[in-house]
């Protein structure tokens, strides 16, 4: 089996990590103990930076944070900026600096804001979103935290406020970036019908957005939570999906391997990557609990080209299209 997207580096390019969760309890990042049980998950990021080249680092206000959600988002973006100082991928020049680094260098980050739909409550909120775009946020998830895929009972159409949020992102991308990049809009957490309608909207309007699913499962014949035809549409739009390695997304490594093989047999692995969700997932697949273990499993389960494409090639290509039009 070989990945159509080509091989990648020996390190991971991860579409989803909740990196800031390790600081839960610090007043500068979280209000009190906002993430109970996080101490039991810290082992998930053991060795993460040495094993990972690029990570999409998600942040945002918590559900129910109505007092000052934009203030929370701004504070957490500041922490991402501090954690990855000089190593945020926000434009073509940043990819140039990354490519010039020696192999095995420091981890770079793409800043990802989650909960965009809930943040955009009034017209006055659009400039605040534009401000985060100006600061270098390049990935935007409509939903908040995604700890498990939607169930079949959750399927529904795209809501008006979600469609409006996508439109706002497209308008801001045109106005603020002047074609310099096409931000990623993350459909993770949306049910299949809503995701399909979002993709149809992006396709029909020519919106300057790269659609992704940062965390997805394979239940009910879906591909990262997308119906097969919608997955094809996402790929045609330059998008990428991250297969989740939490047990809520795939119960074990064999199920994940079979899902990858089924996608490959259907039409190749272009646009297929990994979203670990580390620190945000309660229970990773046994044996895939760290980035190092995940890379070892991919190398042992698939040929070198396929493993490289899944670990980094597909995600790097999608991020490159979003950040610098590469």
What's the pLDDT score for residue 1?
56
Q: Tokens for 185?
A: 């809009």
CA–CA distance, 50 with 11 (Å, rounded to integer) = 8
Two tokens at 229?
A: 């035809």
Residue-wise pLDDT for 261-278, tens only, equals 999 999 999 999 999 999
DSSP helix/strand/coil, 310: helix
Residue 282, token pair as written in the block = 């309660």
* Coil, helix or strand at residue 230: helix
CATH superfamily of 12-324: Metal-dependent hydrolases (3.20.20.140)
DSSP 3-state assignment of 216? strand
- Whether the per-residue pLDDT at 147 is higher than 60: the answer is yes
pLDDT per position as a tens digit, 201-228: 999 999 999 999 999 999 999 999 999 9
> Is the pLDDT reported for residue 82 higher than 60?
yes
Structure tokens at 9: 């580096």
- Terminal C-alpha separation, the chain: 26
Q: Tell me how far apart the alpha carbons of residues 223 and 204 are, in angstroms, rounded to a whole number.
A: 22
* Residue 81, pLDDT score: 98
pTM: 0.94
309 phi/psi in degrees, rounded to 5: -65, -40
């Amino acid at each position: 089996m070989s990945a159509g997207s080509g091989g990648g580096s020996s390190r991971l390019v991860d579409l989803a990590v909740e990196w800031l969760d390790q600081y839960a309890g610090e007043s500068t990042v979280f209000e009190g103990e906002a993430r109970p049980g996080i101490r039991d998950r810290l082992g998930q990021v053991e060795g993460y930076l040495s094993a990972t080249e690029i990570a999409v680092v998600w942040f945002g206000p918590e559900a129910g944070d109505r007092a000052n959600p934009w203030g929370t988002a701004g504070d957490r973006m500041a922490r991402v900026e501090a954690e990855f100082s000089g190593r945020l991928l926000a434009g073509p020049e940043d990819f140039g600096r990354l490519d010039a680094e020696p192999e095995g260098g420091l981890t770079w980050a793409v800043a990802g804001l989650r909960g965009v739909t809930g943040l955009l409550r009034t017209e006055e909120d659009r400039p605040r979103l534009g401000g985060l775009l100006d600061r270098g946020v390049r990935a935007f998830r409509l939903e908040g935290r995604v700890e498990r895929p939607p169930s079949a009972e959750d399927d529904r159409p795209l809501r008006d406020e979600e469609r409006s949020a996508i439109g706002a992102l497209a308008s801001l991308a045109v106005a603020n970036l002047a074609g310099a990049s096409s931000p990623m809009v993350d459909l993770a957490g949306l049910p299949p019908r809503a995701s399909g309608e979002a993709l149809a909207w992006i396709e029909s309007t020519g919106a300057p957005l790269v659609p992704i699913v940062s965390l997805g499962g394979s239940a009910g014949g879906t591909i990262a939570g997308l119906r097969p035809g919608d997955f094809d549409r996402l790929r045609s739009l330059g998008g990428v999906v991250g297969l989740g390695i939490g047990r809520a997304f795939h119960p074990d490594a064999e199920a994940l391997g079979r899902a990858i093989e089924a996608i490959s047999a259907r039409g190749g692995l272009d646009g297929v990557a990994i979203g670990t969700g580390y620190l945000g997932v309660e229970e990773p697949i046994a044996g895939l609990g760290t980035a190092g273990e995940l890379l070892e499993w991919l190398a042992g389960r698939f040929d070198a080209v396929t493993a490289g494409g899944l670990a980094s090639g597909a995600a790097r290509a999608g991020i490159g299209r979003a950040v610098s039009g590469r």
